[in-house]
Chains A and B, each alone.
Chain A
Amino acid sequence: MIKSIPIPGIEDFDKPYWENCSKQKLSIQHCADCKAPRFPPRHMCPKCQSLNHEWNIVSGDAILWSFVVPRPPLLPVFENQSPYVVGLVELIEYKNIRIIGEIKSKSDIDSIKIGDTLSVRFKKINNEISLPYWVRE
């Protein structure tokens, strides 16, 4: 089993996403022609089939849509962190854009609940990848 966390491979169509994350900014891919937003990032606009895309910075503020608390057996790096909380968050600015990220809370993780309001933070993995995670306000 791998020792590190699995690291996202950067591809042409999602490079700006990771570049923005490294600058502590969350961005959402939009079609450069019809302007429709989409997540996860991809090559082609599913609305108008354009291959042109652009990126809009968002606040990262989100509502917790659901979450889980993984317990062993896990990859070693996650087993060491367990119990931790992984959530699916819905962005305030885009109701149907949902992103996976770790959920951190100053108080006990048992008090985390669906509907909690969250703000985004970034954890640096290496020079190219920072992962977004969310904290309870």
Chain B
Amino acid sequence: MLKDQTAIVGIGETEFSKSIDSTELNLACKAIKIALDDAGINPDQVDALGSFTYEETPEFEIARNLGFGNLTYWSQAPYGGGASCAAIGQVAMAIASGIANVGVVWRSRKRGDPSSRMWSHTNEHIFDHWKWSRPSGLVRPVDESSMLMRRYMYQYNYDRKDLASVSIALRKYANCNERALMHHKSLTLEDYMNARMISDPLCLFDNCLESDGAIAIVITRLKMAEGLNNTPAIIHSYSQGMSKEHQLMTHYHSDDPLESSSYVTASNLWSLSDYSPKDVDVAQIYDAFSPMIPFSLEAYDFCPKGESLKLINEGLIDVDGDLPVNTSGGSLSEVYLHGMNLVTEGVKQIRGLANAQIRNAKLALVTTCDATPNAAILLKGE
């Protein structure tokens, strides 16, 4: 069993910026060293690694730069925004099962430069599933997300003004977080309504940031965690999820396209857990695009289908709401690192050391991308 066997004991973040004059490998090494120092663990104790299939810094380079000892486990989780909690869960399982003892999960990414946008490298001939959408001009992830948002707005009678509340709520958190890229920039409803459209009905502020940086975390068995520097963020439950007839980013062909893979992850996560949605004190919801927050809140059963935007407008996800969400500013307003900042923010909340600290936060949900095969973890304090 995985439940409560392992914990996140160290977190490390480099600076976050639109442009950092450094390589991804250099940033990865820095973030991992910071995370190990934070935990109080010597690099030669690390014997497990977890990363993303999209990660371009190889395990052996990481290991020989940091001076790790002999490694006995490593794995990579696929699907970009769907990967962070999967990479963490897989390393946690390796440790819980006795294959390894100390694991590092990292993501280093230089995505600040517009030329690094993945869609801009679309090939002239397409042989994967994107052949069914990209030739017609549905090319970017934002277009793919926007398709589902317009349908959601139609089905549940919402408009852009309702969706604005998501980006505005996250920006308020970023305004409290000095490390957030949008720390000094306010966002009003008027700013939002006047913003340029990127893929109507989604505008500029519905998109995540384009940024450079690296984040790492350290995982150990709970018994070891108790002798280390920090309050452990215990990995209470974990699941991956991929729904029937799922198609990556263009989940348009199942019986109900608004029922994403998050519904599968959520259902299994809750069944493996001692808790229910009402017990969660704070949630970090993957937000490459703002619609993913209302979609995920419904998938994880925080509210009935169609009600999340109404509740967000009434303050659900604000610092004094029933479920504060993305309390560092998230991918929309802190930094976009494939959701790894959501993991570190979940840990900070459990430690009681977040900028927008939720009082007595004992249970934090961290999710990954609603539009891909995905995963989630439930972190708890002692």
The reply on B148 being an interface residue by CB < 8 A is yes
In the assembled complex, which residues on chain A have CB atoms less than 8 Å from the CB atom of B196?
A: 71
The reply on A60 being an interface residue by CB < 8 A is no
A83-115 interface bits toward B, Cβ cutoff 8 Å, 1 = contact, 0 = none: 110101000000011111110000000000010
Interface pair A2/B123, CB less than 8 Å apart: yes
Bound state CA distance, A66 and B147, in angstroms? 6
Size bin of chain A's contact surface: 35 or more
In the assembled complex, which residues on chain B have CB atoms less than 8 Å from the CB atom of A69?
A: 197, 199-200
Question: Closest Cβ of chain A: how far from B200's Cβ, in Å?
Answer: 4
The reply on A75 being an interface residue by CB < 8 A is yes
Given A65-B151, A74-B140, A114-B150, are A6 and B252 neighbors across the interface (CB < 8 Å)? no
In the assembled complex, which residues on chain B have CB atoms less than 8 Å from the CB atom of A46?
A: 245
Question: Closest Cβ of chain B: how far from A12's Cβ, in Å?
Answer: 12
Interface pair B126/A7, CB less than 8 Å apart: yes
Question: Closest Cβ of chain A: how far from B132's Cβ, in Å?
Answer: 5
In the assembled complex, which residues on chain A have CB atoms less than 8 Å from the CB atom of B151?
A: 65-66, 88, 114
Which chain A residue lies CB-closest to B130? Answer: A6
Bound state CA distance, A69 and B142, in angstroms? 11
Bound state CA distance, A41 and B378, in angstroms? 37
Interface pair A71/B132, CB less than 8 Å apart: no
Bound state CA distance, A55 and B228, in angstroms? 63
Q: How many residues of chain B are within 8 Å of chain A by beta carbon? A: 44
Which secondary structure dominates where chain B touches chain A?
mixed
In the assembled complex, which residues on chain B have CB atoms less than 8 Å from the CB atom of A102?
A: 136-137
Among candidates A7, A68, A83, residue contacting B138 with C-beta atoms closer than 8 Å: A68
Among candidates B124, B129, B137, B154, residue contacting A86 with C-beta atoms closer than 8 Å: B137
The reply on A122 being an interface residue by CB < 8 A is no
In the assembled complex, which residues on chain A have CB atoms less than 8 Å from the CB atom of B245?
A: 46
Among candidates B117, B121, B138, residue contacting A70 with C-beta atoms closer than 8 Å: B138
Interface pair B127/A9, CB less than 8 Å apart: yes
Bound state CA distance, A86 and B196, in angstroms? 19
The reply on B114 being an interface residue by CB < 8 A is yes
The reply on A11 being an interface residue by CB < 8 A is yes
Of listed A69, A98, A100, A129, residue having the most chain B CB within 10 A: A100
In the assembled complex, which residues on chain B have CB atoms less than 8 Å from the CB atom of A131?
A: 135-136
Question: Closest Cβ of chain A: how far from B370's Cβ, in Å?
Answer: 16
Interface pair A66/B154, CB less than 8 Å apart: yes
Q: Which of B95-125 contact A (CB under 8 A)?
A: 114, 117, 119-125
Interface pair A67/B147, CB less than 8 Å apart: yes
Interface pair B147/A71, CB less than 8 Å apart: no
Given A65-B151, A66-B147, are A75 and B125 neighbors across the interface (CB < 8 Å)? no
In the assembled complex, which residues on chain B have CB atoms less than 8 Å from the CB atom of A68?
A: 138, 143, 146-147, 150, 199-202
Interface pair A78/B137, CB less than 8 Å apart: yes
The reply on A4 being an interface residue by CB < 8 A is yes
The reply on B186 being an interface residue by CB < 8 A is no
In the assembled complex, which residues on chain B have CB atoms less than 8 Å from the CB atom of A1?
A: 120-122
Residues of A within 8 A of B (CB): 1-2, 4-9, 11, 39-40, 46, 65-71, 73-75, 78, 81, 83-84, 86, 88, 96-102, 114, 125, 129, 131, 133
29 residue pairs of the A-B complex, CB under 8 angstroms, read A4-B124, A6-B124, A6-B130, A6-B139, A7-B135, A40-B129, A46-B245, A65-B151, A66-B148, A66-B150, A66-B151, A66-B154, A67-B150, A68-B138, A68-B201, A68-B202, A69-B200, A70-B137, A73-B114, A78-B137, A78-B139, A86-B136, A86-B137, A86-B138, A88-B257, A97-B253, A98-B253, A100-B132, A131-B135
Residues of B within 8 A of A (CB): 114, 117, 119-127, 129-140, 143, 146-148, 150-151, 154, 196-202, 245, 247, 250, 252-253, 255, 257
